[in-house]
C-alpha cells in the first residue's frame, strides 16, 4: 500500500504529458491524424526517457514525473515469492509424508495377507488326516456238532465284529481339536461331511455341526456293522 501512491503519480503524470503533447501537435494543424498520434507517442517517450536519465543525476528531477522517488517493488515481490515458495514447500512435504504413510500401509497389508495365506495353508495341511485301512474281521468257524457252542461263538463273533467296526469307525473320525482349527479348515471338513449351509456358518456353529455329523456317521457305521455281523 505504501508504494501505491508513488506508482499512481508516476503513471498518471506521463499520461498528462502525452495529452498535452497531443493537444499541442493538434494545434499545429497536421493533415493526417495518424501522423499526429505517432508524433505524440514519440515525443512522450522521448520526454519520459530524458526525465528518467536526468533523475539518475539529480533525484529531485523525479518530481517532474509525479514523485521524487521511484516506487520500490522489489521487497514486495520478494516477500510474495518467498511466501509462495514456502507454501509450495509445505504442500510438497505434506504430500511426501502422505505418500510415505500410504506406502507403509500397503506394505503392511501385503505382509499381513502373506502371513494369513501361510497360516491357512498350514491349517489345511494339519487338518488332513490319513486314515489307515482296516482289515475285515473274519467270522469264527462254526462247529456243527455243538449247537450251544455255535450259538455262543456266533454271539461272541457278532459282538467282536461290532466292536471292531466301532473301533475302525472311531479311527476314521479321529480329528485334531476342532477349536484349534480356523474357519476355512472347518468349512473344508464340513464340506467333506456333506453338511448343508456350512459356507455361512460361524466357527462355533461349524464345530457343533461337525461333531453332530461325525457322531451320526459313527452310529450309522455301528448299525451297518451290526447288520453285517447278524
Can you give the pLDDT at residue 208? 93
Same domain for 25 and 40: yes
In a domain, 23, yes or no: yes
- pLDDT-derived band at 81, boundaries 50, 70, 90: low
Segment 169-197 mean pLDDT:
76
- The whole-number pLDDT of residue 159 equals 46
Residues 34-60: pLDDT tens digits? Answer: 888 888 888 889 888 998 888 888 888
The rounded distance, in Å, linking the Cα atoms of 166 and 120 is 33
Query: Is the pLDDT reported for residue 32 higher than 50?
Result: yes
Total domains present in the chain: 3
The verdict on residue 95 lying in a domain is yes
Q: What is the pTM of this model?
A: 0.30
Q: How many CA atoms lie within 13 A of 26 on its CB side?
A: 8
Q: What are the φ and ψ backbone dihedral angles of 133, each rounded to 5 degrees?
A: -70, 140
Residues 25 and 42 in one domain: yes
Range of the domain at 44: 4-65
Q: Do 88 and 11 have their domain in common?
A: no
Amino acid at each position: 500500500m505504501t508504494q501505491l501512491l508513488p506508482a499512481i503519480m508516476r503513471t498518471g503524470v506521463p499520461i498528462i504529458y502525452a495529452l498535452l503533447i497531443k493537444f499541442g501537435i493538434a494545434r499545429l494543424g497536421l493533415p493526417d491524424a495518424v501522423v499526429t498520434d505517432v508524433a505524440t507517442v514519440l515525443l512522450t517517450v522521448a520526454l519520459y526517457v530524458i526525465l528518467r536519465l536526468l533523475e539518475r543525476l539529480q533525484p529531485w528531477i523525479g518530481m517532474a514525473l509525479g514523485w521524487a522517488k521511484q516506487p520500490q517493488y522489489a521487497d514486495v515481490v520478494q516477500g510474495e515469492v518467498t511466501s509462495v515458495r514456502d507454501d509450495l514447500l509445505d504442500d510438497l512435504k505434506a504430500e511426501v509424508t502422505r505418500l510415505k504413510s500410504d506406502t507403509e500401509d500397503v506394505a503392511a497389508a501385503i505382509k499381513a495377507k502373506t502371513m494369513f495365506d501361510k497360516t491357512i495353508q498350514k491349517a489345511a495341511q494339519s487338518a488332513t488326516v490319513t486314515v489307515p485301512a482296516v482289515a475285515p474281521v473274519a467270522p469264527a468257524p462254526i462247529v456243527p456238532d455243538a449247537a450251544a457252542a455255535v450259538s455262543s461263538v456266533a454271539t461272541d463273533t457278532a459282538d467282536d465284529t461290532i466292536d471292531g467296526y466301532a473301533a475302525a469307525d472311531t479311527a476314521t473320525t479321529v480329528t485334531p481339536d476342532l477349536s484349534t482349527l480356523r474357519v476355512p479348515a472347518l468349512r473344508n471338513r464340513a464340506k467333506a461331511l456333506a453338511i448343508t449351509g456350512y459356507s455361512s456358518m460361524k466357527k462355533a456353529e461349524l464345530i457343533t455341526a461337525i461333531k453332530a455329523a461325525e457322531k451320526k456317521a459313527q452310529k450309522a457305521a455301528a448299525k451297518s456293522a451290526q447288520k453285517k455281523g447278524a
